[in-house]
Structure 1
Amino acid sequence: MMRGFVFFQIVLVGLSSAQQPCIPPSGKPSCVCDTADGTIDLSSISNTDGTARFTNIPQTNGDPQFTYSYNPCISYYEGYSSCSYGSTAACQYTENDNYYMLGDASTETMYIDSDTGNNYLQYDNGDDGRVTKVYLMCDQNVDSPSITADGDGDTPLTYIYHLTTKCACPGGCSDSSIPTVPPTKPGGGGGGGRENSGKSGVAPGEIGIVLVIVMVTGFVTYFVVGAVVLNRKFEKEGKEMIPQKDLWFSLPFLVKDGCVFTFGPLVNLIRHKTGKGGGDYENIK
């Protein structure tokens, strides 16, 4: 029985020293945590204009095909694909000009270990299940924060950053205002400001969708306004309210004539080659 009691105590000690998620103070973002030693507050090192505070971060093992970006506390935009959708906390850029979101800013959670000080921020719901952990390295002498990126070498799809700053220390930095509404996309759509990427930051298909919307809206406006004018000013009713009615009613026949004129020679050539005669086009000639 004594052994069981001792085992139970060991389990309790183990649970008490494990990483525990921190619930931020009321009205504060998840990058703020009240601890027994003071408040850890990263809000002052976060960009709030839709760009990333840290960009073009090389991978620590020297692999040149990957670079990274990161912004604590609030989302940002970068490049194209999912990193440009406005929910990004961390992003990976490859030498093949691809972007992968490594974590959603809305899932930001700070984990605290009061015994070891091994505190980190975690972000989930990245592309294909990617997860990011940003380990907080407390250094009271570091006024300008620095960051490294290890990639996902040890655990596939789990990306590791190390953020060194005095703001990672309890009481190291004062509170800074963070918008409760995500920022809008910066001008040009580039987001994180990656240099020499050669991309406009517009997601594929966005321009086409906009053009289709504009075209449909224009057609609807044309017919509605035209019908109102013909009815009110010229007292037209029924199909007579259709603007330029004769043109639209003759359009199918004009399309048919255009197809015959365009494809007629080809059809006649095929008929001639198959021994079925030259058809109407040849007779007209």
Structure 2
Amino acid sequence: MQVPCVLAFALLAFARSSDFTCKKTSNCSCQYENGDNINLISLGKRDQTARFMEHHGGLVFSYNPCYTFTIVVPGVRNVACSPQDDVAVCETQSTTLFNIGTQKSASFVTAEERLYIVYTSTETNPHSTTRIELKCDPNESSGVFSVQDQDESTEIHHFALLHKCCCPNGCQRRSPVTHKQGGGLSTGSILLIVVLCLLFVYFVGGILYQRLGKGAQGIEMVPQHQFWMSLPGLIKDGVVFAIKPCKNWSTKSGYTVMK
């Protein structure tokens, strides 16, 4: 009895852990096993500035999801935190800049049912690791970026990001303001093109057949020319037939028929 119970418990634990695994789909998005998505793309600024900046113990930490940025310190040439360095998280110590996480290094890690986005950088010695816990708050639209713990000796940095985008399906995959969806032909346009092509084939093929196959000339080369000549009259008869009941009804109802 103990072996089946152990196996059942192991399978249950594995299934439960799989539910909380978020597979990376881009540098700022991941997808759970059930199809839910976490996407931070609408949080990132595209003007080369950082979306979040937090002061802690004389240090300044800057973070911008998805897009690189530049930190400008007066009198200091930026050699660490710039788009060329693929920076995601930057640490500023007085006039010294440290790239403590690159965009391309982003990974998504789950631990104790918590989701983290983890960045690494080889710019520091020892190499930096930055863990940002993604905390869900459906009512938070501005975002709160906070320092949790810092270990300068091992260069491991812990932060938390509170935002609705940290919730499953909390934000759209693409920003509707900055991203233009690719255009395409509508169903009506496709049908119109098909009808015009069929009419072209009908008339051109019919005229060639009538001329080359039957030796027809003039108006007789048009396929079913008698039908097309009578079509205007048929349309007129149809319109008169359709409005006649309305005309009779308006006369019987006491309305004056305008002439």
**Shared fold, TM over 0.5:** yes
Instruction: Tell me the C-alpha RMSD between the 2 structures.
Output: 2.8
Aligned 8 A contact 1:48 1:74 in 2: yes
- SS of the counterpart of 1:160? strand
Whether 2:124 is the aligned partner of 1:125: answer no
C-alpha distance in 2, partners of 1:40/1:121? 11
Aligned-pair identity in percent equals 23
- Relative to 1, partners in 2 of residues 1:131 and 1:47: Cα closer, same or farther, differing over 3 Å? same
C-alpha distance in 1, partners of 2:14/2:102? 28
Which one of the candidate residues 55, 68, 71 is aligned to 2:61? 68
Structure 2, unaligned runs of 5 or more: 73-77, 180-259
Paired amino acid for 2:61: Y
Higher relative contact order (CA closer than 8 Å, sequence separation 6+) = 1
Give CA-to-partner distance per residue, 1:180-227, whole Å, 9 cap, x none.
xxxxxxxxxxxxxxxxxxxxxxxxxxxxxxxxxxxxxxxxxxxxxxxx
The range that moved more, 128-137 or 10-19, is: 10-19
- SS of the counterpart of 1:167? helix
Shift of 1:44: 0.6
C-alpha distance in 1, partners of 2:164/2:62? 20
Match of 1:162 in 2: 160
Give CA-to-partner distance per residue, 1:39-69, whole Å, 9 cap, x none.
21111111122221112x112xxx2x21100
C-alpha distance in 2, partners of 1:100/1:5? 53
- Relative to 1, partners in 2 of residues 1:160 and 1:103: Cα closer, same or farther, differing over 3 Å? same
- SS of the counterpart of 1:45? coil
Give CA-to-partner distance per residue, 1:129-181, whole Å, 9 cap, x none.
101111101001111111002342398211111000001111211122589xx
Which structure is higher in strand share? 2
C-alpha distance in 2, partners of 1:108/1:102? 12
Whether 2:133 is the aligned partner of 1:135: answer yes
- Relative to 1, partners in 2 of residues 1:168 and 1:94: Cα closer, same or farther, differing over 3 Å? same
* Counterparts of residues 183-202 of structure 1 (less than 5 Å): none
Shift of 1:10: 5.1
C-alpha distance in 2, partners of 1:69/1:6? 49
Q: Provide TM-score, normalisation by structure 2.
A: 0.55
- Relative to 1, partners in 2 of residues 1:167 and 1:5: Cα closer, same or farther, differing over 3 Å? same
* Counterparts of residues 227-238 of structure 1 (less than 5 Å): none
Whether 2:31 is the aligned partner of 1:34: answer yes
Aligned 8 A contact 1:132 1:158 in 2: yes
Highest Rg: 1 or 2? 2
Paired positions, count: 166
Match of 1:196 in 2: none
